[in-house]
Structure 1
Amino acid sequence: MRRLFPVTDQTSAAGDREDREWSLDELAEAYAYPGGEAVWLRANMVSSLDGAAQHDGRSQAISSDADMRIFGTLRGLADAVVVGAQTVRTEGYRPARAREAFAARRAAAGQGPAPAIAVVSASLDLDFSLPLFTGPLVPTLVLTGAAAPPERVAAAQRAGAEVVVAGDGPGVDPRQAVRELAGRGLVRLLTEGGPRLLGQFAAAGVLDELCLTVSPAMTAGEAQRIAWGPALADPSRFALASVLEDAGFLFTRYRRAPGPSA
């Protein structure tokens, strides 16, 4: 893995531009959340060269070993991983696990042993018998609206999930979801999609950072882009923060740019 941007005399001397495998500590330093107590929502997505967020409905086919190391690192730094219900069903989500490589770092930051998984769902059409709900190290959160089906709310609670109301209607308000998580001390937030959820966060103006892996692959077909939903009135502007490269994969990181369009 090589650092392509930013490059300074100091980073060049440290060998950041050499093609080598980075340690998890080095990746953790590269992807550290901003300091302070403010909530920060970052997204982690992968895209093919032609803009597909998945192949045959899953992202694995356009991913790589290095991409998965960064995926694990971002989870290891987060307080909570926010994910849409469809992604939970499609990708077969399991509870986040404690990893020894991040134990000291998490303890120093006052974090629990693993991030909580927060599932966003209006209908709560989820299989609450899965380990994600019945056997997590940290209780799984289910974000839903005030009009969610009461019987499904009860089913989630029986399975051990914590139901969080984050919307006045059937669905979840992205701004309220972020506020509810922050109110529980979960301020280092990571969303892994899917495209519909990322589109909602982007439209609501609460996405602070996008970690986008550009895969050196073409898929064609009709796969979704990384964000899907109604178009924004004005494009949100992001500034490039860093670029890493490994085996033709580009690991980019963009932060929301200041200004009226951010």
Structure 2
Amino acid sequence: MPAPSIADLIGPQLPPEHRELRAIAVSTLFGAFAREGTSGALGNDTDSALLLALREWADCVLVGAGTVRREGYKAPRGAVAVVSRSLDFDTTSDFFSGTPPLIIAAREALSDPALAPARARLRAAGAQLVDAASGSARDVVAALHARGLNRIVCEGGPSLYSALLAADAIDVFHLTVDPSVGPLDGTHLPALGGAEGDGGLRRFTLEAVARTDDSMLFCRYRRSRG
């Protein structure tokens, strides 16, 4: 079976001026996001190509600070926004040698005297500190929109996915199902959902599904509204 085209996996695209937030994740059959601490052992070449294509589609990649550290993110070529509470980064890492990242934090973190040294290190490394008001998922997305970043792709991790889902902020979810089990690291998709927003059930409609010869399943879900 020929591999599905990346264009088909991405699916319909709104004009660039329209706001759309997509999320991409890979999980095992039992919902684990990672194996041995990272997602690198999951997925296949098509999954990697889809990730890169969505980065090309997006005005900005949105990711949590823990995921940047855990996955060993390299120097970004495009805009990357990292959500952080502690502002604790290794500014000597390769991540800070490319396009200066946007570090998105609650206003409280950007004014806390105890975090002044961390803010100074980030600015010295070229990072831009972005005020996300309360730091909620809605405020994070609003801060990106205010900068004209309309197309956003979120790459995790679980806590950021959870906040965005609870805030009803994800329009399209790309989920790759890796047909494998164990050993698992305890990070599971069923834990997603919850604290922010009205706490209601979030439903998505399966818009497209494809598979590769190794039985990797590629699902594209669109938010069911109304």
Query: What's the TM-score once normalised by structure 1's chain length?
Result: 0.77
Establish whether residue 61 from structure 1 lines up as the match of residue 31 from structure 2: no
Deviation at 1:224, TM superposition (A): 1.2
Instruction: Give the alignment of 1:50-199 within 5 angstroms.
Output: 50-97=30-77, 115-133=78-96, 135-136=97-98, 138-148=99-109, 149-168=115-134, 172-199=135-162
Deviation at 1:227, TM superposition (A): 6.7
Q: Is the 8 A contact 2:31 2:190 kept in 1?
A: no
Q: Is the 8 A contact 2:3 2:211 kept in 1?
A: no
- Sequence identity percentage: 37
- Structure 1 stretches of 5 or more lacking a match? 1-18, 98-114
Cα pair distance change 1:194/1:90, threshold 3 Å: same
Deviation at 1:50, TM superposition (A): 0.9
Count of aligned residue pairs for this structure pair: 216
Q: Is the 8 A contact 2:16 2:151 kept in 1?
A: no
CA distance in 2, matches of 1:39, 1:181: 10
Superposed CA offset, 1:82-109 (max 9, x none): 1101101100011233xxxxxxxxxxxx
Establish whether residue 258 from structure 1 lines up as the match of residue 221 from structure 2: no
Q: Is the 8 A contact 2:63 2:80 kept in 1?
A: yes
Superposed CA offset, 1:19-38 (max 9, x none): 2245xxx4236415322523
Deviation at 1:222, TM superposition (A): 4.6
CA RMSD of aligned residues (A): 1.8
Higher mean C-alpha deviation, range 43-52 or range 172-181: 172-181
Cα pair distance change 1:215/1:130, threshold 3 Å: same
Q: Is the 8 A contact 2:62 2:154 kept in 1?
A: yes
- Secondary structure (helix, strand or coil) at the match of 1:254 reads strand
- Secondary structure (helix, strand or coil) at the match of 1:61 reads coil
Q: Is the 8 A contact 2:165 2:193 kept in 1?
A: no
Q: Is the 8 A contact 1:45 1:226 kept in 2?
A: no
Superposed CA offset, 1:124-176 (max 9, x none): 1111112222x21x3210001112122212211110011101033xxx21111
2:148 aligned partner, one-letter code = G
